[in-house]
Amino acid sequence: MKRPSFSLSRANVLRLGVVAIAVLFLAVIGLSSMSLRTARVDLTEDRIYTLTPGTQSIVDGLGRPLTLTLYFSDHATRELPQLRSYEQRVQEMLREIAVRAHGRIRFRVIDPVPYSDDEDAAESYGLTPAAGGSNGERVFFGLVGTTGAPDTPVSQSIPFFDPAREAFVEYDIAKLLYELAAPRKPKVGVLSSLPVTGNMVIGEQPWTVMRQLEQLADVTNLAPEGLTHIDPSMNALLLIHPKKLPEDAQYAIDQYVLHGGHLVVFVDPDAEMDTSPLIDSNGTVDDHDSDIRRLFEAWGIVYDPTKVVLDRSQALTIDLNGNTVPHPAMLGLSAQDLNHDDVVTASLQRINVSTAGFFELAPETKARMLPLVQTSDEAMVVPAQGVRDAAGDPSTLLASYEPSHDRFVLAARVRDTFHSAFPERKDAGHLGVAAAPGEVIVVADTDLLTDRLWIDVQPLLGQQQLTPFANNGDLIANIVDNLGGSTALLSIRGRANLQRPFTRVRALQAAADRKFLVKKGELENELYDAQRRLAELQPTKGASTPTTLSAQQRREVEQYLQRKLAIGKELRDVQHQLNAEIDALGLRLKFINIILVPALVAILGLIFGWRRTHRVRREM
């Protein structure tokens, strides 16, 4: 029998080896992509691809299985690279969450192509498509979470992942998970001395804020009299306009906060909806202000109920006897006055307040204050009585206006490991110091809760049509949403803004813009002067026609038109010159990176080559 030669079989073995390598390679890639999903090192500065402990604890606490479905219009977003890269981040985060959940979360991605069942399903879950996809297609980019039995599923959704909320994407997803896992509404208590719930006897409706709150949470109204204990299972407590609160009620609030309760306090130096008489039958003067001095002192908060903040640059105009006048105590605070790094105020555009006070931190406190709403730096502080006196003509407040160049904090989070304001009490369960760091939200205005500052109510077909013109209602909803969730949810903060612009170029651009505006102003003044001279030369209005112009007038008109053209050109030149600085920087950087460095490498190569040749020649 002829045996095959060794070399032939070895060659075949080697060929087989190449095939085996290919198979093994594919198997390794396939297996690793299917099974390995947790081992990773996040090199980003803000650890944006790493779940925060808050999200992890929410995921770990999931009691029942749920499904997360990401609807993303893959085809329609081919020309939207920024949205696609954001989607990649969202998907990564969802995958990470699914892996963390150890099988309790099923994650899938669906591309809802137009006219498909998937598209119908996405819309039925309340996802809102955006316009602007390729070929005019609608872009779906939302998340649906479902849980429960197939016949009675519970679902929650994020209608659209807005890139403007990129810093809060983890918070939004964790909130969805939390709400799916605990579908009960949060319990919220309200302790108010203002008629927030209306008066059914005289047909007064509850304030819109309260009606909105009823939809968001299980609301319990508390009375200050006889209040000695606040149920710690209450997710949040809203304290509105606290006036002369009994000590027991204050102690109950104190202990609620120390036991980890979430408190929101609305105080006001001048609550315009306070219906109590200014001077009561006993002759006691009531300035319609509110305060919880003892508690504020214990928490390190400084607040003066006799002071109101004015801000002429943010003043709202009011109608006074048919005239519109600015009211420097009624403020329309825009996006730049709201904290964009806080989940509560990040996406709000406008908050209106009226006769608001302000907060500061006591010098010796360890508490931290995170402003939510601030004035501009043109604000000043005046006595509340002065504002009340100027009610007839608020513009008189501007007569002696002196901006303080400080930004006053109108609403803030205050964080600390709080100490009790009642260290002397020894009630059962008394805490002298909170076991863990906590926070309270303080707002120095109660009028922002009233309809007149944020909502237009129009009757429409027997129904009330509500049209908000400010985000006051959203602010309260966000606060309750934020505080009503778990502590883990509260700990998930927005990450730093991910967009990192060229700060140096922006600074150059801003300086150029400023220079341009100054120059533009100068030239426009010059043009205005020329125009005025021209007008002075015209004897009577309507009498001058081109044919009746004197020689001097014609010369002036000619000069004016020429100057106008010249100024237009000058402005273009100025703009060009200012941009030249930015262009020159770009050119310098291009030169360094494209020419200088390679040239240095080439020179280095030549030197080495020359030395080498020289050495070889010498050795020969």
C-alpha of 124 from chain center: 28
Q: How far is the CB of 493 from another protein (least distance, A)?
A: 18
C-alpha span between 367 and 378 (Å, rounded): 27
Cβ proximity to another protein: between 436 and 607 the closer is: 607
Q: Is residue 593 classed exposed, middle or buried when 0-12, 13-18 and 19+ CB atoms within 10 A define those classes?
A: exposed
Which DSSP helix (H) or strand (E) runs through 474? helix 472-484
Cβ proximity to another protein: between 26 and 566 the closer is: 26
Site residues (CB under 8 A) for another protein, limited to 543-582: none
The region of 15-23, 123-131, 158-166, 558-566 touching another protein under the rule CB under 8 A is 15-23
Pairing status of strand 66-72 against strand 105-110: parallel
Q: What is the dihedral of CA 447, 449, 453, 458, to 10 degrees?
A: -140
Does residue 396 touch another protein according to CB under 8 A? no
Letters for 361-390 (x = contact with another protein by CB under 8 A, - = none) are: ------------------------------
Which DSSP helix (H) or strand (E) runs through 173? helix 169-181
C-alpha span between 337 and 371 (Å, rounded): 10
The region of 30-38, 179-187, 207-215, 379-387 touching another protein under the rule CB under 8 A is 30-38
Please identify which residue in 106, 605, 611, 615 interacts with another protein, judged by CB under 8 A. Answer: 605
Does residue 611 touch another protein according to CB under 8 A? no
C-alpha of 341 from chain center: 6
Does residue 510 touch another protein according to CB under 8 A? no
What is the gyration radius of the CA atoms in the chain, in angstroms? Answer: 34
Please identify which residue in 42, 377, 524, 573 interacts with another protein, judged by CB under 8 A. Answer: 42
C-alpha span between 274 and 302 (Å, rounded): 23
Please identify which residue in 1, 41, 149, 620 interacts with another protein, judged by CB under 8 A. Answer: 41
Please identify which residue in 506, 569, 572, 611 interacts with another protein, judged by CB under 8 A. Answer: 506
Q: How far is the CB of 437 from another protein (least distance, A)?
A: 29
Q: How far is the CB of 109 from another protein (least distance, A)?
A: 11
Cβ proximity to another protein: between 457 and 597 the closer is: 597
Letters for 86-105 (x = contact with another protein by CB under 8 A, - = none) are: --xx--x-------------
CA torsion sign, 307 to 312 to 314 to 320?
positive
Please identify which residue in 11, 223, 278, 433 interacts with another protein, judged by CB under 8 A. Answer: 11
C-alpha span between 70 and 173 (Å, rounded): 11
For the beta carbon of residue 117, count every other beta carbon within 10 angstroms: 9
Q: How far is the CB of 32 from another protein (least distance, A)?
A: 4
List the beta bridge partners of residue 204: 199
Q: How many CA atoms lie within 13 A of 592 on its CB side?
A: 5
3-state secondary structure (DSSP) of residue 329: strand
Q: How many residues does the chain have?
A: 620
The region of 159-167, 345-353, 517-525, 589-597 touching another protein under the rule CB under 8 A is 589-597
C-alpha span between 148 and 607 (Å, rounded): 75
Please identify which residue in 233, 282, 463, 499 interacts with another protein, judged by CB under 8 A. Answer: 499
3-state secondary structure (DSSP) of residue 465: strand
Please identify which residue in 32, 116, 324, 396 interacts with another protein, judged by CB under 8 A. Answer: 32
* DSSP assignment of 104-118: SEEEEEE---TTSHH
Please identify which residue in 278, 457, 518, 589 interacts with another protein, judged by CB under 8 A. Answer: 589
Does residue 401 touch another protein according to CB under 8 A? no
Applying CB under 8 A, which residues contact another protein? Answer: 7, 10-11, 14-15, 17-18, 21-22, 24-25, 28-30, 32-33, 36-37, 39-46, 48-49, 74-75, 78, 88-89, 92, 499-506, 586, 589-590, 592-598, 601-602, 604-606, 608-609, 612
